[in-house]
Structure 1
Amino acid sequence: MDFWMTIRVLLKRWYIALPVFAVSLGLAVAVFLSVSPQYESTGTIVLTAPSSGAKVAVGEAKPAEKINPLLAFDGSLTTSAQIVIETLKDPATQKQFETIDGAPAAYEAGNGQLNGPFIVVVATAASPASAKKAATSVLDLARKELAARQQALQAPESTYIRADSVVMPADGKVKIGGKVRYAAVALVLGLVAGLTAAYGFESYKNYKKTHPGKEKAAKADKQEPAPKQPEAPKAVKQPEPSWPKAAEPSPKSDETTRILTPVAKPTPSPRTRDSR
């Protein structure tokens, strides 16, 4: 798609692109305001070796040296810091800090891209105080984990690696990166919708110019009513003739006639007499 062609279409169909752009801008603002803010607090500690070194003499008659295994190799402090960081990244450990003061929280642990035995914890929560509390709690857990590992290795207490604070967690600062990302996504989707609407309308207008006959035919088909089918002739029902009903004789008159009327005897004919 040519850039200048896009600009030309947008300028030509500004009455479509401009309202869509305004709606997109309003949608982005609404998304930015609707997303709840998150607060972030950061704390950093550094691991240090004791001034007495990694070894200590044990016994009086034949003193023997006892060493801290975590300080027995080069880069031991950095390695120990990495061990603690991996422990903090364990999902089971992170699950302990899913909620702080009844609100959802989360944290990330690492070295902060710093060279050396640093442990950096970045905690996120719904309020500044909760973010600070989460970061402080995770750093305290890191110190406990470091001491527990040295105790499990039976290292002399005087050779324990210490965790000194570099940056103390403070009240969380508002984190607007997530809100900006959501608003940017809404704005981009709105701009895409505006371009689609402008190009779609432009394509429709061009189609009407290049195919005027089809549109007229379609309008004519809509305006002309469909021819009516001839109706089949309906059968006319002839009225039945009404014949006068004969008078029905009453039962009493019939009986009287039968009683009073004598029965006439048949008279023989002359031929019958002659034959006899």
Structure 2
Amino acid sequence: MEMSVLWGSLRRRWYLVLALVVLTLGAMFVVTQRVGPTYEATGTVLVYPPSQSSMPDGSSTQENPYLTLSGVNQARDVVVRALTSKKVSDEFGETFPVGTTFEIVPDYTNSAPIILFTVEASSPRVATDALDSLVSLVPVELSNLQSDLDLPEAERVASTVLTQDEKPQPTNKSMIRSAILAGAGVGGAGLMLIALIDSLLLGRRSPDPAGATDHDEAAAGPPPADDDRDGTDEDDVAPQPTPLRPVATSRPPAERTVTTRLVRRRRRGAERDEAS
């Protein structure tokens, strides 16, 4: 549908447009009340290298693990990959209510091997519990990755919790998103319905001439059938020749004037004879 046609329909049915605006705002309000705000909790976990390393001669050295953090970025990425697998997502969905979501990504704001957790839920307690369950999976995944290496505990890559929200913050992102979707759906459907109603009303006011012609033909009835009771159709009869008739030609104006004068003279002569 062209925008000019739609705009014309909306101008003619402005009262329906006002009703649609009220209905759309009402739908958005109802959706926001039913969805309500959500609560977001975040946490960060640091993956750090082992504090002890073995030398080729069998001796071990003690080092500060925080001085060589860049060496475990790959281990951090492997843990993130494991935590975002389908298995973890399915277990998370079975444990927590519908609508609870999470996001696990590397923290690219700095060069340290940090994992960033974000959980969004319908209540503060659900958000806190979901964040706890995800953060606790990091040491489990690191242990599973290094279980076959037969390394002592001091030579294994470990993790520690840096930050974790104990009081989730309310957010209106989900509520605003749902309200926008509801408003767009109701408003778009309402505009199309107004255009349809306008076209139907205009069609009733100005009937189609072709439809009127068809109605007249239907009222006149079917054409008369050929009378072939004698077994002969009119189309089968040879056409009869039409006799030629002389075509009267019109006289020129000059000849008409002379003839009129002669007639008048004859009438005058006849009147004189009768008078004498």
TM (norm. structure 2) is 0.61
CA deviation string 1:222-273 (max 9, x = no partner)? xxxxxxxxxxxxxxxxxxxxxxxxxxxxxxxxxxxxxxxxxxxxxxxxxxxx
Aligned to 2:24: 24
Shift of 1:96: 3.6
2:158 pairs, out of 155, 162, 167, with 162
Does structure 1 residue 93 correspond to structure 2 residue 88?
A: yes
Root mean square deviation, CA, Å: 3.7
CA distance in 2 between counterparts of 1:196 and 1:144 reads 55
CA distance in 1 between counterparts of 2:29 and 2:196 reads 26
Does structure 1 residue 171 correspond to structure 2 residue 170?
A: no
1:84 pairs, out of 79, 82, 96, with 79
CA distance in 2 between counterparts of 1:97 and 1:193 reads 37
CA deviation string 1:34-55 (max 9, x = no partner)? 2254322111112222455xx2
The alpha-carbon distance between structure 1 residues 31 and 95, as it changes in their structure 2 partners (threshold 3 A), is same
SS state of the match for residue 136, structure 2?
Answer: helix
CA contact (8 A) 1:35 1:179 kept: yes
Aligned to 1:12: 12
Aligned to 1:180: 176
Residue identity over aligned pairs, in percent, reads 22
The alpha-carbon distance between structure 1 residues 50 and 214, as it changes in their structure 2 partners (threshold 3 A), is same
CA distance in 1 between counterparts of 2:169 and 2:138 reads 23
> Unmatched 5+ residue regions in structure 2?
62-68, 214-276
CA distance in 2 between counterparts of 1:140 and 1:124 reads 17
Aligned to 1:109: 104
Matches of residues 1-276 of structure 1 in structure 2 within 5 Å? 3=3, 6-35=6-35, 37-50=37-50, 52=52, 55-57=53-55, 63=58, 76-98=71-93, 103-104=97-98, 105-114=100-109, 116=111, 117-211=113-207
CA deviation string 1:93-117 (max 9, x = no partner)? 33443356x7454433221454542
The alpha-carbon distance between structure 1 residues 40 and 118, as it changes in their structure 2 partners (threshold 3 A), is same
**More helix per residue:** 2
CA distance in 1 between counterparts of 2:79 and 2:105 reads 9
Residue type of the partner of 1:56?
S
CA contact (8 A) 1:107 1:123 kept: yes
Greater gyration radius: 1
SS state of the match for residue 130, structure 2?
Answer: helix
The alpha-carbon distance between structure 1 residues 204 and 96, as it changes in their structure 2 partners (threshold 3 A), is closer
Shift of 1:178: 2.6
> Unmatched 5+ residue regions in structure 1?
67-73, 218-276
SS state of the match for residue 145, structure 1?
Answer: helix
CA distance in 2 between counterparts of 1:44 and 1:216 reads 77
CA distance in 1 between counterparts of 2:26 and 2:115 reads 43
CA deviation string 1:156-179 (max 9, x = no partner)? 433332323332233223343233
CA distance in 2 between counterparts of 1:130 and 1:210 reads 63
TM (norm. structure 1) is 0.61
